[in-house]
Amino acid sequence: MFLLFMALALGLLNYYLWRRLVRATTTSRRARTAGAVVLGALFVMMMTAMALVRVDPIGYAWIAWPGYLWLALAFYLAVVLVVLEIPRLILNRWWRRDTPEPVTASLPASPAEDGVAVAVAEREFDRAATGTTGKPPVDNGRRLFIARSMAVATGLAATGIVGYGAKTALGGPQVRTVPVTLAKLDPALSGYRIAVVSDIHLGPLLGRSHTERIVRTINGLQPDLVAVVGDLVDGTVAQLGEAAAPLKDLVSKDGAFFVTGNHEYYSGHLEWISELGRLGLDVLRNERLTIARNGAAFDLAGVNDHTGGQLDDAPDYDKALGGRDERNPVVLLAHQPVQVREAAARGVDLQLSGHTHGGQMFPFSLAVPIQQPVTSGLATVDGTQVYVSNGAGFWGPPVRVGAPPEVTLVELRHNSALG
């Protein structure tokens, strides 16, 4: 169903590009046919990439690169064209008004006495004299000039955006330091540092070197604890186990923890839970533990992603959060920001999440609030603070626009104003 929906949407997208970039800019039937063939081939390549990488993300990386890059370029070509529709219409209207009115000739005598026949004859004569709209037409040379100018501007803008976005997505993650004040945090734990990373998305375009770079970044921060909040992989352990192996080199004082994201459930979550345990990560499956230091403590909890409910592995908030000492603050790892609704109802102080990619490619970020309460960064929802990471990888196109990849260092702080 997903591929069928994408085929329909992307088919319409490619047709729109043909209309604006080929049909509107050419007068030759041969050129229009050639453009249709090229765009059709790109559409087939894109859909083939999306289908094959779901079967074997490593073996079909060779087609994933051009397929996903065309997806990003096609998207931004369409975005720029839509933005330019208004100036295109204004120019066409302005030049139409600037075109001299055609000379009106007298209707030839007609023996027809029937009023309907006369009206039809008048309409046809008017169309022949002034064009199909009955208004002075825009000169074909002017119309072609507008269309071709728009096409060139669109191509340059979209290529520039995708180039910038690819450089951002494939570059190293930014380090963002975020102080978070917790009212119940003991002063002895003020300054406790949690390295948060999400949405690494190992798969056809991101492999072992990507993991090694993230591990180096995290270890360089010397965190007290590492939280990996889901969507690590887009493939099975057999396909991507080697790419994930550098996670065993994560170093922190109190360990590295993981909760499932929706993509783990598409990739064989039970095998990955076992594999991550072998690599030294503690997978929190609706569980909670106490982090203690210098006679002070806070609770760290983790719940499964909502998608687990389809595979008998649903999140269980009561199991993870019930029966705790409520004098201690609790930090919850949950992949999707929307899970904060359940967390807030159980008095969670801070939730750490990912999933949104910060929108990954603007203007997708404008649509995220339809499903999620927070797109990126720190916010408060129903009295619970939630931090949403942009993620360190990407899904689909290797492009990020307006949402750079990141590793976040969350610093827990005591509210000194409360004493």
From residue 99, alpha-carbon distances to 133, 253, 321, 334 in Å are 14, 77, 73, 63
| Residue 194 burial (C-beta neighbours within 10 Å; 0-12, 13-18, 19+) | buried
Q: Which one-letter DSSP state was computed for residue 172?
A: P
Q: What b/e sequence results for 204-229 when a residue is b if at least 16 CB atoms lie within 10 Å of its CB, and e otherwise?
A: bbbbeebbebbbebbeebebbbbbbb
Residues of the chain with pLDDT under 50: 103-107, 109-122, 124-138, 418-419
pLDDT at 139: 55
Tell me how many helices (H) and strands (E) the chain has.
10, 12
pLDDT at 107: 46
pLDDT at 140: 67
Q: Which two tokens stand for residue 143?
A: 């119309």
Strand partners, 202: 233
Q: Is residue 39 part of a domain?
A: yes
156 and 181, same domain (yes or no): no
CA 282 – CA 255 distance, rounded (Å): 8
280 and 379, same domain (yes or no): yes
pLDDT at 118: 40
**Among 19, 58, 56, 63, CA closest to 41:** 63
Chosen domain end from 132, 166, 200: 166
| Residue 368 burial (C-beta neighbours within 10 Å; 0-12, 13-18, 19+) | buried
Chosen domain end from 114, 132, 166: 166
Q: Is residue 293 part of a domain?
A: yes
Q: Is residue 121 part of a domain?
A: no
155 and 177, same domain (yes or no): no
Residues 71-87 have pLDDT tens digits of 999 999 999 999 988 87
CA 30 – CA 218 distance, rounded (Å): 56
Segment (H or E) for 368: none
Q: Is residue 115 part of a domain?
A: no
Segment (H or E) for 157: helix 140-170
pLDDT at 116: 46
Strand partners, 226: 195, 256
67 and 7, same domain (yes or no): yes
pLDDT at 112: 45
Q: Is residue 128 part of a domain?
A: no
DSSP 262-290: GGGGGS-HHHHHHHHHHTTEEE-SSEEEE
Asked if residue 352 lies in contact with residue 196, where contact means CB atoms within 8 angstroms, the answer is: yes
151 and 187, same domain (yes or no): no
Q: Is residue 134 part of a domain?
A: no
Residue 207 identity: G
What domain count does the chain have? 2
145 and 218, same domain (yes or no): no
42 and 187, same domain (yes or no): no
pLDDT at 94: 67
pTM: 0.85
34 and 148, same domain (yes or no): yes
**Among 20, 30, 12, 34, CA closest to 151:** 20
9 and 91, same domain (yes or no): yes
Asked if residue 223 lies in contact with residue 192, where contact means CB atoms within 8 angstroms, the answer is: no
Q: Is residue 209 part of a domain?
A: yes
90 and 231, same domain (yes or no): no
Q: Which domain holds residue 406?
A: 173-414
Q: Looking at residue 296, which CATH number applies to its domain?
A: 3.60.21.10
Q: Which two tokens stand for residue 122?
A: 């008048």
Asked if residue 255 lies in contact with residue 224, where contact means CB atoms within 8 angstroms, the answer is: no
Q: Is residue 21 part of a domain?
A: yes
50 and 157, same domain (yes or no): yes
CA 11 – CA 365 distance, rounded (Å): 23
91 and 203, same domain (yes or no): no
pLDDT at 121: 43
From residue 221, alpha-carbon distances to 102, 214, 364, 411 in Å are 75, 11, 31, 12
